[in-house]
């Protein structure tokens, strides 16, 4: 996968030595800029926009998110708890499957609970009825697999053959819609307007006669709405058309779009040597701090990389042979103590960090490029590693 980073932006003037290493630095001004774009789309398109916590759950910015968006969406009980503790507005929860013991609390916390298949709704019918009898108010949703692939990488395609995500629309029957208040469709991954347009053109005819009584349609996430080349006006038109044609409230669940180009991961070169090519070890670990570098895989953009100079292979401090971030060009060979930063690391990287090998977690800092205010939000220590184990 290719990085979607647009460039360093305001981070080009940020002094990397102002924070400990390693450290995620998030620009509040950039987050606000993205949120303002998403709010504009929602207002003009008549849609409700929710933050996908799975991509960006920096709850120290929860009040900021609440100024712009209609709520959040969670992927299970713990995210739902986080949502109710810190965030505001509507809460939608979806998981491919639920544990029976978790569902009563999820139903209590959520405004909408989306199930992966009609038989799940039937199997948990007693819990749903019991929650409503106790006065809980929530909608029930059903996730559909539109069976139309647009994802660029097969393993990230929710519509791949054998996908576990969503009920195949070709199997959907009127009886499956009993008790269903809304439908959820998520088939994108870091994509623009055109794939969404094609997915909806493919799906809409298949839903003919099945939307009677449906109150809302959730178009999921994967929308890179805040990217410079996104066709925002066309999205606004499509959202309005769907709502008017079918009499539904439309929801969007962007995740990356909230934090796109809004954060960097700062690190430090610890050592350099030669082994067929120059090699540098940094305190940033691909496997611990940016696992998508290995899982996707992709090559994150490095701030200040030059076109000409010395190509250096950068890897992390863990014992994993594959803990390699990539090969990068420096104007001159870096020395121990050199600070570096990888771009566009606010989304997914922060939520996926781990302490394999006892590698320390990066600190988290909040910077505001508008007034240069800097706050160290969180710094992790040995106890965070120790207390995850037994």
Task: Dump the DSSP string for 198-243.
Answer: HHHHHHGGGGTTT-TT--EEE--S-B-TTSTT--HHHHHHHHHHHH
Which tens digit of pLDDT belongs to each residue from 233-255?
999 999 999 999 999 999 999 99
Mean pLDDT of 260-277: 97
Residue 373's alpha-carbon distances to 27, 365, 369, 370, 376, in angstroms, are 10, 10, 7, 8, 10
Contacts of 365 (CB under 8 A, 6+ apart): 19, 23, 24, 25, 26, 374, 375, 376, 377
How high is the pLDDT of residue 1? Answer: 67
Angle formed at CA 217 by CA 211 and CA 220, multiple of 5 degrees: 140
Give the whole-angstrom CA distance, residue 221 versus residue 255.
6
Q: What is the mean pLDDT of the chain?
A: 96
140: number of Cβ within 10 Å: 17
**What is the pTM for the complete model shown?**
0.95
Domains along the chain?
9-25+262-386 (2.40.37.10), 46-259 (3.20.20.10)
% of the chain at pLDDT higher than 90 = 93
DSSP 304-373: T--SSSEEEEEE-SSS-TT-EEEEEEESS---TT-EEEEES-TTTHHHH---GGGPPPPEEEEEETTTTE
Residue 43 is predicted with a pLDDT of 98
State both tokens at 84: 């109710």
Give residue-wise pLDDT tens across range 143-194: 999 999 988 888 888 999 999 999 999 999 999 999 999 999 999 988 899 9
**Tokens read off for 24:** 């995620």
């Amino acid at each position: 996968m290719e990085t979607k980073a647009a460039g360093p932006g305001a981070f080009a003037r940020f002094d990397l030595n102002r924070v400990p290493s390693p450290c995620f630095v998030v620009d509040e001004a950039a987050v606000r800029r993205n949120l303002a774009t998403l709010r504009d789309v929602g207002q003009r398109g008549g849609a409700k926009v929710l933050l996908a916590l799975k991509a960006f759950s920096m709850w120290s910015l929860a009040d900021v998110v609440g100024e712009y968006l209609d709520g959040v969406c969670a992927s299970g009980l713990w995210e739902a708890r986080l949502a109710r503790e810190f965030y505001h507005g509507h809460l939608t929860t979806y998981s491919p499957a639920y544990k029976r013991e978790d569902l009563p609390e999820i139903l209590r916390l959520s405004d909408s609970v989306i199930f992966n298949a009609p038989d799940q709704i039937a199997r948990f019918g007693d819990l749903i009825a019991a929650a409503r009898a106790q006065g809980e108010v929530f909608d029930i949703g059903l996730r559909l697999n539109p069976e139309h692939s647009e994802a660029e990488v097969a393993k990230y395609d929710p519509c791949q053959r054998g996908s576990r995500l969503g009920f195949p629309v070709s199997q959907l029957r009127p009886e499956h819609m009993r008790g269903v208040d809304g439908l959820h469709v998520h088939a994108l991954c870091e994509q623009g307007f055109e794939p969404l347009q094609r997915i909806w053109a493919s799906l809409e005819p298949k839903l003919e006669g099945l939307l009677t009584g449906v109150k809302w349609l959730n178009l999921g996430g994967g929308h890179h709405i805040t990217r410079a080349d996104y066709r925002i006006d066309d999205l606004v038109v499509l959202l309005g058309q769907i709502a008017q044609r079918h009499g539904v409230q439309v929801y969007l669940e962007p995740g990356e779009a909230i934090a796109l180009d809004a954060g960097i991961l700062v690190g430090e070169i610890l050592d350099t040597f030669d082994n067929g090519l120059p090699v540098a070890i940094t305190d940033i670990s691909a496997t611990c701090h940016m696992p998508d570098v290995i899982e996707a895989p992709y090559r994150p953009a490095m701030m200040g990389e030059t076109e000409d100079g010395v190509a250096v292979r950068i890897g992390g401090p863990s014992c994993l042979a594959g803990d390699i971030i990539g090969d990068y060009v420096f104007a001159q060979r870096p020395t121990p103590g050199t600070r570096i930063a990888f771009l566009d690391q606010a989304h997914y990287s922060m939520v996926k960090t781990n302490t394999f090998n006892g590698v320390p977690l990066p600190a988290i800092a909040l910077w505001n490029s508008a007034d240069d205010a800097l706050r160290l939000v969180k710094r992790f220590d040995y106890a965070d590693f120790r207390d995850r184990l037994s």
